Structure 1
Amino acid sequence: MRMYTFMIAMFLLATPTITAQNKAITIADIWKNNTFATERLQALHSMANGKEYAVQNYDRDSGVKSVDIYDYESGLKVRTAVSTAEIDGLDYFVGYEFSSDEQKVLLSTQLTSVFRRSTLGEFYVYDLLSRKLTKVSDDLIQEPTFSPDGTKIAYGKNNNLFVFDIDKNETNQFTFDGQKNSIINGITDWVYEEEFGFVRAFDWSADGERIAYIRFDETNVPEFSMDVYGDKLYQTQTVFKYPKAGEENAKVSLHIYSLGEALSGTNVVQTKEISFGNIGAYYLPRIQWTKDPNVLSVQALNRNQNDLTLVFYNASTNKVSQAFRERDAAYVDVTDNLTFLEDHSFIWTSEKDGWNHIYHYNKDGSLKKQVTSGRWEVTEYYGYDPASERIFYQSTENGSINRGVYAIDLKGKNKTPLATEAGSNNADFSADFTYFINSFSDAATPWRYTLHDAKDGRLIKSLKDNEAVKTLYNSYKVSPKEFFTLTINGEDLNAYMIKPVDFDPTKKYPLFMYQYSGPGSQSVKNSWNSANDMWFQMLAQEGYIVACVDPRGTGLKGRDFKKITQKELGKYEVIDQIAAAEKLGQRDYIDADRIGIWGWSYGGFMASNCLFQGADTFTMAIAVAPVTSWRFYDTVYTERYMLTPQVNPEGYDNNSPLSHVEKLKGDLLLVHGSADDNVHVQNSTRLVEALVQANKQFRYFNYPDKNHGIYGGNTRYHLYTMMTNFIKEKL
């Protein structure tokens, strides 16, 4: 579970010169006028030659959309690959994808959201040599993907899979049993999409002769429904399969479709179901063909998600073998870091030594080398360069609230810092790892983009620096974000504080605390953050101190720190937030009788819990789209941390806000969207009923037809106005 908000890229800058800061930040600046938008590199793609990169551009004056190619070294545009001004029948597109040989581009239009990551859309193939435009399908389709040779497109439609031959303009359907709310072929169901983070559940083999895909049988999964009121006389209803904790999941199976057999006209079976024998394969969170076109890798996971097996299926022998197995007393994270080398060895990331690090294994699963080690975390694996035999990664080696970019060889030697300035460094490497574009920010610096030599990190040139945004921010009343740690229950918890610009240590200020607190998350980070930071600055200019503390259970401080909350979500996090509020309340300049807390999603679960269980500490709380009982949330996320409610009923109930409503003393604002497909409005309605029966007064606001992000039109402006007014009234 992640809170998704579809925020516009708006940020704030803390400047050292207070005398120049005159303007007051308003909610309209943040949520209506886009006053603080920053420039970014849109849809960056490194070309195969490693010397050039592509960027999607839009000319507002002419209305022309384009994909332009730039030279890394000079930064100059060298050509335009795609321009709507030159294509008959295509006025615009919203995304692009090159074929492997970069002779064709797949262009997406008319995209409409299905769930968080999934979309339906119209797609066209544009041939860069012939300048021919070909529509893939007259219908809206999902996840179209080039074959390795660029001659075909595989895609999903109406829960079935198809292959489109571009030159022949012919379509071949190869699954036929797809049915809404019953059978899905090659596209993930709701819970896989949300919690395993992928939509395309099919993959081309390296030679383009086979397609592996996962089939989801949702027949016995309970249905969830929500009314959508719209503007008609009668509401409509959205119904889909949603497995809540302890309920039945979709039954998944793995299949291989052979295109060669289909084209040969023989009677050979074209599709095979793969049997895993005695290997536990309750979930199939990843499938990926190796460099050998006959060998498919599959990650198989048990229901408790603490036993993951890497399986190899050989299509030429029809045999399955277990290559590697990872177990953890709590759970094993599923990632996209698995990388196969030319000798069929592979790279893997794991917390097995207590911190997330990179490992190199032989093809039989035996360990060759732990590549990185130390009391810090690898936070991003960028890839492996076979030419230099180096691995590129991002980590917290320069502090848990910072991110640095490094290179290291396969033997764990010759580590090279590439971008380690205190703050957040994020790298985008060229296809051959010659260059990388570094996006850097810290709490006082908006994102800047610079080009570097990947060999040693040498700066080549600046691409974008957002200096105009810094100049704009200099005219506003903003305060520096002060980072520090709080020692709570034997742990040094990361924290930050924003004080009013005219802060006077002899005065008493109300304290407003923000947190998310979910497993493995991080809210205290030295980076240029979201529009919420602008809101916090606005509250600071109104005379509030804003603070944030990452409690136990959050990430990037080691496995044990993160997984202490196993089977008891909401226990240690609440203890730590209450203790942090009490400790901050002891400071001379904080009014301990005026402490509030706010959060969204998991943070809303925490805000309500803290107000109830910390009734003598917190004066008020705002809970937006909160989970109020983990019994109401989905199987994959919830059971990863809590097991099933049948096995762990006390863990579910003891730490649920529903179990503590009678303790409420302060003021609560509860907010939810009626069409939230993620954290269902059922959570808030059950909390409302519990509060009513406990005769507790509170405020509840429901946003009609809004999902978990509660956005669209004037919605965010209204929400943040309402929350601001509540804070001013109650804190």
Structure 2
Amino acid sequence: MVFNQYNVPMRKHFFPLVLLFISTTVLTAQKKQITLEEIWGGAFRTERMDALRSMKDGDHYTVLSFNRNPRGSSLDKYDYQTLEKVETLVASSDEVPYFTSYEFSADESKLILATEIEPIFRRSRRGIYYVYDLADKTLTKISDNLIQEPELSPDGSKVAYAYDNNLYLFDVEGGETVQVTIDGKKGSIINGITDWVYEEEFSFVQAFEWNADGSKIAFLKFDETNVPHFSMDIYGQDLYPFQYEFKYPKAGEENAIVSLHMYDVAAGSISDIDLGDPYYIPRIKWMNHPDQLSVQTINRHQNHLKLQRVNANDGSVSLLLEEKDKAYVDIHDNLTFLKNDSFIWTSERDGFNHLYLYDQKGNLKNQITKGPWEVTAYYGFDEKKDRIYYQSVENGSINRDVYSISSSGKKKKRLTEREGTNMADFSADYTYFINTYSSANTPWQYTLHRASDGKLLKEIIDNQQLKEKLDGYEVAPKEFSTISINGNDLNMYMIKPVDFDPNKKYPLFMFQYSGPGSQQVANRWMGSNDYWHQMLASEGYIIACVDGRGTGFKGRDFKKVTYLNLVKYETEDQIAAAKKLSELPYIDEERTGIWGWSFGGHMSTNCLLKGNDTFEMAIAVAPVTSWRFYDTIYTERFMRTPQENPEGYDNESPFNYPELLKGKYLLVHGSGDDNVHVQNTMRMIDALVQANKQFDWAIYPDRNHGIYGGNTRLHLYTMMTNFVKENL
């Protein structure tokens, strides 16, 4: 945490619905209904190309493959031109343990292989890691301990890694280990690894980086001594439960103090870098020159970002650019340094997310892409041919296409042709790209293309077997349209029963997430929730999803209109959409439900309460019920602090108005949710009890925010299905 050429434009009004699909009429009696057991048993999984990475020569790529019986893994090398396997670089055996991920050294002479991996939080892992030498086929264990984020030096001679909040350096040939930092302490000091809130909201774990010649390591230090700790009971299987504690800064509370440091490998010394008391350091990245480091800092309000250059020799700091916004500035990974350390950057400064080119001193040379549409991914720059490759929604905000353009912003070329979602993985020299494509009626397809013009060279995976299998099931097309709500044309899809009769009345069941910058209405292949919605459509429900104000890919103003008032406008849009849909002759306005997970659970709860004359039923899974309970970085980005904006926090908190509940309400949470704490649901429960409101609820012991494991998902969706049938 995504194509037959249907050039059908999006309508700018609500009626009629625009179909993007051609379906063949068949007798529904001949088709099966999708079942929950099939969804959660993996019956509709798509075949994927996992962990594909281009090699430096530009002619080859590697793919990590897994065998189920006997259990094993292999790293295979393929030729771009033929798509044939050239060789197996390494495979698990009696000598090589089963591995689940890999990483090359910069010169591709060695690999790090990950084994015995244990998850910590959403992105963090610890495990036993090995260095595999591709030339002499030797395997070297880095440490007997469960370590984090090992990374080879550029020449493959050393490995930097984190263990017990400290950084270490392992010499591959000699086998010696040097402890780089000594002050790491649980609950206090973390070296080289992010704290919980950085990992969750800035989306990275490894907080150290080698420079280009392996002479220095830049790393972040987190002092979380004064960050309030959070605890949750783990029930487990033993006689007594125990408490799991970790530092979690809730909105308005104290964050970890973060600082930047430089380790000189030859001297074995650490120097401190003075960045002028930054509040957050969400990114560090070495430039091409081994003594030049780029650092991004941002203030607590997250509306003033600085990109700074650090001289690793003397520690001096200079400003490259600043980004300011009345609301907030998004953090991204699109910064790319060219050979002379000029750089490419993305910004919303003109109202839409676009690419910009700067010289090495931070002076703007030109805006590369322009228009009332968003760049959604940056793939890279072929400096020899002066071609920048990117993905955008230029062909409609529910679609994605891949383009190339010159650094001057001229000679733009669309490289993908099929309408839907196109993603690209380019060879290192930008000769080829593998296109990952899907649409709402086409499962994931992988094809090889020429990067210069997008010409199709070869088909790789088409998931035709899955499509043929689904031909035997009741699967209704998603009908994409826009709906005019509160002065905005909102993207929407609707799923009707296969045997839909416009003269009948159907219950309406709405689904949404609605979080800032998110998107649910997208022309891409089905996920698990889509299969569940298809199952409900077979049972006689109409499913609708509307992306309201605050969601993404329609420009800065549309996304940031919810600033300081999260869930207010989003809730108004869902209620208004439900009312407008209820005007359709085939919708039963007395049977309207809504559901969502996380932010979407907050939304469904608010809709049922504030829209109690519109919604008769809601399901909320792992909902936020007060933004006061959520973390600093996410919440304050959109709301500022509770001390500054108390009304913004409390006016949309549903446990402050439980008396508004009239309809049927199902509330679900995992007790081991480290992200949206079960505290949110417990406070909601207590408020409803004190208001003497009846409702249904379920707690899944020790399950995290995803609520999965074993039969958990099957049980959850069975319960939700029964609730829908009984109350809608």
User: TM-score interval w.r.t. the shorter chain?
Assistant: over 0.9
Q: 2:145 maps to what in 1?
A: 139
Question: 1:112 & 1:560 partners in 2: Cα distance?
Answer: 41
CA–CA separation in structure 2 for the residues paired with 1:514 and 1:669? 14
1:154 alignment partner, SS class: strand
Q: Return the alpha-carbon distance in structure 2 between the equivalents of residues 517 and 63 of structure 1.
A: 41
Task: Tell me, yes or no, if structure 1 residue 224 matches structure 2 residue 223.
Answer: no
Residue of structure 1 equivalent to 2:79? 71
CA offsets 1:237-257 (integer angstroms, 9 cap, x no match):
110000000000000010000
The 3-state SS of whatever aligns with 2:602 is helix
1:63 Cα deviation after fit: 3.5
- One-letter amino acid matched to 1:662: E
Please state how far the C-alpha of 1:611 moved relative to its aligned partner: 0.2
Alpha-carbon distance, 1:667 to partner: 0.5
Mapped to 1, the partners of 2:22 and 2:423 lie a distance apart of 21
Query: What is the letter of the counterpart of residue 178 of structure 1?
Result: G
Q: Report the alpha carbon displacement of residue 17 of structure 1 after superposing the two structures with TM.
A: 4.5
Q: Give the distance between the partners of 1:59 and 1:185, measured in 2 at CA.
A: 37
Per the alignment, residue 34 of structure 1 pairs with: 42
State the distance in 1 between where 2:71 and 2:340 align: 49
Deviation, structure 1 residue 379: 0.4
Checking the alignment, whether the CA contact within 8 Å between 1:609 and 1:660 is kept in structure 2 is no
Instruction: Confirm whether residue 703 of structure 1 aligns to residue 700 of structure 2.
Output: yes
Secondary structure of 1:419's counterpart equals coil
The one-letter code matched in structure 1 to 2:374 is E
Q: Which moved more, 1:49-58 or 1:561-570?
A: 49-58
Q: Deviation per CA, 1:268-322, whole angstroms, max 9, x where unpaired?
A: xx10111123xx6100000011101111100000000000000111022321111
Name which of structure 1's ranges 609-618 and 355-364 shifts more when overlaid on structure 2.
355-364
Q: Residue 636 of structure 2 corresponds to which residue in structure 1?
A: 639
Instruction: Give 1:46's aligned residue.
Output: 54
Task: Kindly indicate whether the alpha-carbon contact (under 8 Å) linking 1:22 and 1:477 is maintained by their aligned counterparts in 2.
Answer: yes
Contact 1:14 1:481 in 2 (8 A): no
Q: C-alpha separation between the residues in 2 aligned to 1:726 and 1:80?
A: 51
Measure, in 2, the Cα distance between the counterparts of 1:62 and 1:329.
57
2:243 is aligned with 1:237: yes
Question: Which structure 2 residues correspond to residues 263-662 of structure 1 after superposition, within 5 A?
Answer: 270-277=269-276, 281-662=278-659
How much has 1:529 moved relative to structure 2? 2.7
Instruction: Find the aligned partners of 1:189 and 1:425 in 2 and give their Cα distance.
Output: 34
Kindly state the Cα deviation for residue 154 of structure 1 after the two structures are TM-superposed. 0.5
3-state secondary structure, aligned to 2:329: coil
Given that 2:233 and 2:244 are in contact with CA atoms closer than 8 Å, whether structure 1 keeps it comes out as: yes
Letter of the 1:143 counterpart = E
> Does the CA contact (< 8 Å) of 1:252 and 1:282 recur in 2?
yes
Alignment-mate amino acid for residue 251 of structure 1: I
Q: Does the CA contact (< 8 Å) of 2:433 and 2:448 recur in 1?
A: yes
| AA of the residue aligned to 1:25 | I
Query: What SS class does the counterpart of residue 607 from structure 2 fall into?
Result: helix
User: 1 CA distance for matches of 2:239 and 2:266?
Assistant: 53
Aligned partner of 2:96 in structure 1 is 90
Partner residue in 2 for 1:9: none
SS at match of 2:308: strand
Deviation larger for 90-99 or 375-384: 90-99
Instruction: Return the alpha-carbon distance in structure 2 between the equivalents of residues 284 and 91 of structure 1.
Output: 37
2:168 counterpart (141, 156, 162): 162
Question: Secondary structure of the residue that 1:574 maps to in structure 2?
Answer: helix
Q: How far is the alpha carbon of 1:62 from its aligned partner?
A: 4.4
CA distance in 2 between partners of 1:607 and 1:687 (Å):
13
DSSP-derived class of the 1:255 partner: strand
TM superposition shift of 1:15: 5.1
Counterpart in 2 of 1:261? 267
**Aligned partners of 1:630, 1:576: CA distance in 2, in Å?**
20
CA distance in 2, matches of 1:37, 1:564: 38
1:121 aligns with 2:113: no
Local SS of the residue matching 1:645: coil
- % same residue: 61
Deviation at 1:538, TM superposition (A): 0.1
Residue by residue over 1:11-55, the C-alpha shift from the partner in whole angstroms, topping out at 9 and shown as x without a partner, is xx9953433751111110111x21111100011011111111111
Which residue identity is paired with 1:168? G
Q: Secondary structure at the match of 1:562?
A: helix
Q: Distance in 2 between matches of 1:57 and 1:582?
A: 50
2:275 partner letter: F
How far residue 658 of structure 1 moved from its aligned partner, in angstroms, is 1.6
Match of 1:691 in 2: 688
Report the AA paired with residue 99 of structure 2: F
Unaligned runs of 5+ in 1: 3-12, 263-269
Helix, strand or coil at the partner of 1:577:
helix
Structure 1 residue 25 corresponds to structure 2 residue 34 = yes
**If the length of structure 2 is used for normalisation, what is the TM-score?**
0.96
Matched residue type, 2:454:
G
Counterpart in 1 of 2:14?
none
In structure 2, relative to structure 1, the CA distance for the partners of 1:688 and 1:312 (3 Å cut) is same
Q: Which amino acid aligns with 1:205?
A: N
Distance 1:75 1:343 in 2: 34
Q: For residue 64 of structure 1, report the CA deviation from its aligned partner.
A: 3.6
1:179-203 residue CA offsets vs partner (Å, 9 max, x unmatched)? 1111000000000000000000001
Bigger mean CA offset, 351-360 vs 653-662: 653-662
Contact 1:14 1:479 in 2 (8 A): no
Q: C-alpha distance in 1, partners of 2:26/2:685? A: 45
1:56 aligned residue (53, 64, 70): 64
Whole-angstrom CA distance in 2 between matches of 1:361 and 1:146: 31
Aligned-partner Cα distance in 2 for 1:507–1:402:
33
* Residues 354 and 560, structure 1, Cα contact 8 Å, conserved in 2: yes
SS at match of 1:200: coil
Alpha-carbon shift at residue 387 of structure 1 (Å): 1.5
Q: Distance in 2 between matches of 1:353 and 1:223?
A: 41
Query: CA RMSD of the aligned region, Å?
Result: 1.1
SS of residue matched to 2:722: helix
Q: Which residue among 223, 246, 263 is the counterpart of 2:252?
A: 246
TM-score, normalization: structure 1?
A: 0.96
Contact 2:97 2:115 in 1 (8 A): no
Q: What code does the residue aligned with 1:424 have?
A: T
The residue type equivalent to 1:52 in the other structure is H
Q: Which amino acid aligns with 1:490?
A: G
Secondary structure of the residue that 1:252 maps to in structure 2?
A: strand
The CA deviation at 1:659 is 2.1
Count, aligned residues: 708
Q: Displacement of 1:363 after TM fit?
A: 1.7
Distance (whole Å) between structure 2 residues aligned to residue 118 and residue 61 of structure 1: 28
